[in-house]
Amino acid sequence: MALMLDLKRTAVLAMDLQNDIVNATPGIGEKKVLANIRQVLDRARQQQVAVVHITVSFRGDYRDAPGASPLFQMVRQNGMLRAGTAGAEIHADVRPQEGEPVLNKTCVDPFLTTNLDQLLHNLDANTLVLMGLWTNFVVEATARHASDLGYRVIVVRECCASNSDENHTFALTQILPMVATVAVLDEVLPALA
């Protein structure tokens, strides 16, 4: 059965596609993840579907990062994702267009430290198409939270990658199908037409 979307009530979320994270994602170039994301963004823009960008960045002293989190301790130790640096910028291949909202978070889940839910309500969105880095972090956290809030959630398989193939595959096959529809690019692009 073909994937069906009500384009007026759909929002596409492009998450954590920043230079530091892209550079820390193994095999991202060979998998053409950014090119795939770009296809979805282009199609959504052509059809005037809402596009929302999510980033993660911190003050220079990292006081706004979760202090006890091993993930963010690693970020701090490596000097990654400092607000205003090139590493925290959204990758040039998937940069926002004028007027597209960019919400910055200071944790994994964008519903926690941004006004994402309010923005989605203002857009009258009830369906979210998720893409991003990393599958088992921001994509999974967003899918879980959105599902709990009552959104229909679609994860685009070829538009996600993670810090390892094992983590990516486990999230896509074992976790995400419980809270979302995991769709392939060839299903999503026609649904956005």
- Residue 122 within a domain: yes
**DSSP code, position 7:** G
**Cα separation, 182 vs 165, whole angstroms:** 16
- Residue 152 within a domain: yes
Which residues in the chain come in under a pLDDT of 50? none
The confidence score (pLDDT) of residue 3 equals 96
Opening angle at CA 95, ends 126 and 35, nearest 5: 85
Alpha-helix runs per DSSP H in 28-139? 33-46, 70-77, 110-113, 116-122
The confidence score (pLDDT) of residue 1 equals 74
The confidence score (pLDDT) of residue 69 equals 95
Q: What is the CATH number of the domain that holds 59?
A: 3.40.50.850
Using DSSP's 3-state secondary structure scheme, residue 103 falls into strand
The domain total for the chain is: 1
CB 54 within 8 A of CB 116: yes
Expressed as residue numbers, the domain containing 156 is: 7-191
- Residue 160 within a domain: yes
- Residue 22 within a domain: yes
Let me know if 86 is exposed, middle or buried by CB neighbors in 10 A (0-12, 13-18, 19+).
exposed
pLDDT, tens digit (0-9, with 9 covering 90-100), for 30-84? 999 999 999 999 999 999 999 999 999 999 999 999 999 999 999 999 999 999 9
- Residue 1 within a domain: no
- Residue 2 within a domain: no
